[in-house]
Structure formats: structure tokens, C-alpha cells
Amino acid sequence: MELRGLSLLVSNQKNHFTNLIHKKQENNRRINVYFSVSYSHPNYYYLAQLFYLSQLALKNNVFLYLCLGDTVLFRKKRSHFSEPFKAYNKDKMDSLIEEVRSVVESFGVDPERIFVYKASNNWQKLLKLEDEEVFSFFKGLNTIPSKTQNIGEKISDIFYLPKNTKYELGYVVNKYLDLFVSSHLHQLFPEDIENKIDIFVAGNYSGQLISNLQGILVDEELISESRPIITAFPLLPCFGQSSSIDQTFNVPHWDMQLEEIYDVIEKYNLPRKHIETILRNLIAKTKRKMIFSTNGKSEEVDLSEISLAKFPVKKQRFLLAHALFDFLQEIKSKNNIKNCSNYLDLKNLNEIYELSKAFKSPLTIDILTLADKGHSVSEIARKLNKHTSNISTAISTLKQKGLVRINGNGKLEKAVKVIKINL
């Protein structure tokens, strides 16, 4: 049972999926999707997750509710799966939130269907629920068995982890929070969502853990058995992050050169099955065929039907390096921030009309007034007494119109100084 590449993780939810999601699809009714990501920088694995979500949203009446796991990212030591930040940095988090939003928009998703939160905000909101619900949350924590921390061999294999690796306790608690929050998001953020979350999407790394936690929460009657429906992305190996192989966090990202990506592939000794899986489950979904050159010769390859058995190992790895490099550069090119110019020159009535839409709300003027004053998104939200997600949506619209940008320090800046209208 699939919905644009998602697969069910909990078998007894099959009927719920059919009765709820299929009927909503048939009637073009709104489908609310929740996903938690430990996005720390634009590497191919994180970008692939955002790509999968975007494809889901483009073909359905889907609204995306994304939670950035800041409580997992900020730690003193490196984890198995994400780059650590040794001290909490609010500006850094604001910058990451804007990057996540920008990437999803670059895939064609309507910005009004994207909501991005921080896990730390979820904790704060959680404690404002009714006392009975808060008590239930902490009661449920005590029911998580220690074996839940075990990572299976299949997960260890595709993430290049040593056998008997365990999930960190903080990660387990954070995933428990995600499940609980996804069932109460309409209570925590009523300004963003009216009805319950329909689908909870788990990444490959957390899929097994989420399935186990869902059973525990259902047994304790803390969440419904029928909703949210637990799903997972297509299988996608992730290399470049295992401290048992390399002491640097080096998952191929959009600032890497082709040669650097190839070096990481070589260091991790990627087997043919992993190369084929990445090509089929990711690259082939963005483009069916690609042309790459080796030793001065160009060759066209059909990625959707590819079998690498006939290729020598070095050529297999070179093909993957080319494919990932092209995938990353294409996304980067769509997310580059334009240089600031003095004038935004509007020369026809359609341009004027489109820009006028951005100024319908007084909030737009308030935000522009605070730009160039060293404020991050969360700081602007506090100053205007608005929720961060509302400010992010407004800023996203201003970015689309070419009026503002987020600099490298996570601060809002004007992208133009003067708007010139030629009537």
C-alpha cells in the first residue's frame, strides 16, 4: 500500500489507510502529513527526504508539518547520524528552518502548505496541555522497554554502523515526543491546523523505532490506533557519517566538488547493491537518464532500469558520484540567494499586481521594517508577538517576490532598497 512512494510500517493500519487516505484522495480533501528531520546541512540524504515529501505534496491535497529536531542536533559529542552543534544557537536554527523551507519550495510546493517547527517549541507547547495529558505523556515514557534502543542489522547495514549499535536515549525520547505531538498538533498549534495529522512519515533510520513506539503508545491508549498512519520513505543508504569509518562528518553535500564525493564513496567502499539502490530510489525519480563521461568518452545510462553488474567497481562509483553531484548542484542552484540590488524595477501591470499581493497584510510591512536590523526569524516573531511559523510563511512570500533574504548568520535582510514602478 503506497502513497507516492510511502509504504506502511504498521500492517494493521492497512484498512485505516484505505478508509481514510484513499477516500480523502478521491474527494481531494486535505491530508495533513507530519515529518521530523534532524537537518543539519544540505547533504543528499536530508535533501532526498525533503524531495520525497515534496513529491507527495505535489500530487495530493497535502499540507506538510515539518519538525526540525534541534533537541537532537545540539550535543557535545557526535551521534551516528547527524553533525553535532556543541552549543545551542538560535540564529543557526532559524537559518536551517529557512533553508528547509526554501528547499521544499524549490521543489514546487506551495509555501502556504509548509509549516516548520522546532522540537524545542513542541516541548514548550506540550507542557501547556491539560494536566492529565501531560501526565499521560510522562507516564508513557516509563513504559518504553530498553530493547527499543536496539538498531537492527538492516539499518546498521545501510547506515554503515557497527553491529549492536543502539539508538541514543535522547533520540528515542525525541521520537516518542514526535509521535505524541503528531497526535496533538491540532491542539498545540490551532492557528496552523484544524484537524488531526493523518500521516506520520518516518525516515529509514527511525522507521523500526517509530513502529515499536507506536505499538507502545497505542497499548497505553496515549494515541489512536487508526491515526496518524505510520509510513516510511523508500529505502536509501546513507554514507559519510559513520564515526567507525571516518572521524569527519562527510555525507556528500551541495558544497562538495565531484572529486570529493567520489573520495567519500571510495572511503566507504560502497557495494553495488547500495549504489543501485541510491540510483533507483533517488536519482531516477529526478531524471530517468543521465550522461556521464569517463576517460573522455560519454555514455547515456537509463537509471530506472540500471544494473551495474557489467560495470567495473570504479565505474560504478564514478557513476554514483556524478549522479549525486548533479542532484545536489541542481538543488543548490534553485536555492542560491540573489545579491542585493538597489532597485526592483517593475515594468508591467502583472508584475505590479503580483507584488501588491505581498502587501495585503500589515504583517508584511512590520517584517520589512525589522529587516536589516540584525534580527532572526524567531526574534522578529517575539517582537511582533506572532508565532514563528506565521512569520516564516510571510517571510517566505517576501523571499519569493525578491524582497528579502536570510543571510549566513540567520538574520533577515532586505534584498532590494527601492521598488521602482513604471506605469
pLDDT in tens, 301-322: 777 666 777 788 888 899 899 9
113, 389 Cβ separation under 8 angstroms: no
Q: What is the mean pLDDT of residues 65-77?
A: 70
**pLDDT tens-digit series, residues 129-165:** 888 888 888 888 888 877 778 888 888 899 988 888 8
Give the residue-averaged pLDDT of 283-291: 76
pLDDT value at 2 more than 60: no
Letter for the amino acid at 382? R
CATH 3.40.605.10 fits 2-232, yes or no: no
Q: Which of the four CATH numbers 3.90.226.10, 3.90.420.10, 3.40.630.30, 1.10.10.10 does domain 341-421 have?
A: 1.10.10.10
pLDDT value of position 85 = 57
pLDDT at 348 exceeding the cut of 80: no
Cα–chain center distance at 377: 19
Q: Which pLDDT belongs to residue 173?
A: 87
pLDDT greater at residue 423 or residue 50: 50
Q: Which residue has the higher pLDDT, 4 or 267?
A: 267
What are the C-alpha distances in Å from 299 to residues 218, 271, 290, 320? 53, 22, 8, 14
- Grid cell digits, residue 361: 497584510
The predicted model gives 323-348 an average pLDDT of: 73
Mean pLDDT of the residues in the chain: 82
241-250 contacts, C-beta under 8 A, 24 or more apart:
241/80, 241/81, 241/82, 241/83, 241/159, 241/160, 242/80, 242/159, 242/160, 242/161, 242/268, 243/78, 243/80, 244/160, 244/161, 244/162, 245/160, 249/78, 249/82, 249/83, 249/84
**Domain map of the chain by residue range?**
2-232, 258-335, 341-421
Pairing of strands 289-294, 114-118: unpaired
Residue 112 has a pLDDT of: 87
Separation between Cα atoms, residue 102 and residue 158, nearest integer Å: 28
Q: Over range 334-342, report the average pLDDT.
A: 55
Identify the weakest region by mean pLDDT among 71-85, 157-171, 213-227. 71-85
The whole-number pLDDT of residue 324 equals 95
Q: Is the pLDDT of residue 337 over 60?
A: no
pLDDT over 70 percentage in the chain: 85
Share of the chain above pLDDT 90, in %: 22
Most confidently predicted of 2-6, 215-219, 251-255, 374-378: 251-255
Alpha helix stretches (DSSP H) within 2-144: 14-16, 23-26, 44-58, 70-73, 90-106, 119-126, 131-141
The mean pLDDT of 387-404, rounded to a whole number, is 83
- Is residue 361 predicted with pLDDT exceeding 60? yes
Mean pLDDT over 372-397 rounds to: 85
Computed from CA positions of residues 210, 304, 82, 193, in that sequence, does the dihedral angle turn out positive or negative? negative
Lowest mean pLDDT among 38-47, 108-117, 309-318, 334-343: 334-343
229 vs 9, more confident:
229
Decide if pLDDT at 168 tops 60: yes
pLDDT tens-digit profile of 96-137?
888 898 899 999 998 889 999 888 888 888 888 888 888 888
Chain centroid to Cα 34, Å, comes to: 10
Stretch among 32-36, 336-340, 376-380, 400-404 having the lowest mean pLDDT: 336-340
For 170-179, the pLDDT digits (tens) are 888 888 989 9
Up-side HSE of residue 265: CA atoms within 13 Å toward CB?
27
**pLDDT of residue 339 exceeding 60:** no
Q: Is the pLDDT reported for residue 341 higher than 70?
A: no
**CB-based contact 172:209 (threshold 8 Å):** yes
